[in-house]
Amino acid sequence: MHEPNLFQSMLEDTPEEDRAIRLWFALLFSFNSVERVLRRRLQRQFDTSLPRFDVLTALVTFPDGLTMSQLAAMLGVTKGNVTGVVRRLRDEQWVDQIQQSDDRRVQRVVITESGKVRWHDMRREYRAAVEDLLAELPAADAQALTGQLVALQALVDNAADSDDGLS
């Protein structure tokens, strides 16, 4: 049994007619629950954190590397948050930081070969954890939910781009 979660409590306390906020709390509750399991499994299996995995994932996706600003923007965090994670990954020799020749203040972060090997191992565990968690969801439901969430993301992006409904 898991401990009560803020989002679960909020979902349970929100009236049925408040559909949008109930949906939001349900999304947060689900995300938080899956993320908690992923964090535990990466910590237990690799003595690492989910933010480190996320940084390595971004760097695997962009093999020429990313600047600290690009990395922070891609992950939706501040440069300060990325700096500490990158420092730890560099200490473990999973990434290198290379100064730009045209601007020595800018550093490009690239994944090392040992970082790629480690990321592939972590990715297998990450994938297994997600598959374990969602195994009981019928394929048709998973496909339908994925489509609905993609559509929801498009609605949110459109609203954010036009500032409709946002204060």
DSSP 123-153: HHHHHHHHHHHHTTS-HHHHHHHHHHHHHHH
Both 17 and 57 in one domain: the answer is no
Reading the block at residue 8, the tokens are 């679960």
The pLDDT score that the predictor gives to residue 52 is 96
Assess contact for 58 and 71: CB atoms under 8 A.
Answer: yes
pLDDT of 1 strictly over 60: no
Both 57 and 41 in one domain: the answer is no
Higher pLDDT pick, 120 / 163:
120
- Phi–psi pair at 152, nearest 5 degrees: -60, -45
Cα 52 vs. chain centroid, distance in angstroms?
10
Both 42 and 58 in one domain: the answer is no
Binning pLDDT at 50, 70 and 90, where does residue 26 land?
Answer: confident
Is the residue at 86 inside a domain? yes
Both 8 and 58 in one domain: the answer is no
Both 17 and 94 in one domain: the answer is no
pLDDT of 167 strictly over 60: no
Sign of the CA dihedral with 120 first, then 64, 62, and 77 last? positive
pLDDT of 60 strictly over 80: yes
Cα 133 vs. chain centroid, distance in angstroms?
16
Higher pLDDT pick, 147 / 13:
147
Please tell me what DSSP assigns to residue 4: P
Assess contact for 32 and 5: CB atoms under 8 A.
Answer: yes
Domain residues for the domain of 10 are: 1-47
Binning pLDDT at 50, 70 and 90, where does residue 4 land?
Answer: low
Binning pLDDT at 50, 70 and 90, where does residue 129 land?
Answer: very high
Binning pLDDT at 50, 70 and 90, where does residue 106 land?
Answer: confident
The pLDDT score that the predictor gives to residue 101 is 74
Both 71 and 126 in one domain: the answer is yes
Is the residue at 165 inside a domain? no
Assess contact for 128 and 111: CB atoms under 8 A.
Answer: no
Q: What is the share, in percent, of the chain residues with pLDDT greater than 70?
A: 95
Binning pLDDT at 50, 70 and 90, where does residue 161 land?
Answer: confident
Both 32 and 57 in one domain: the answer is no
Question: Residue 98 and residue 17: Cα distance in Å, rounded?
Answer: 54
The pLDDT score that the predictor gives to residue 39 is 96
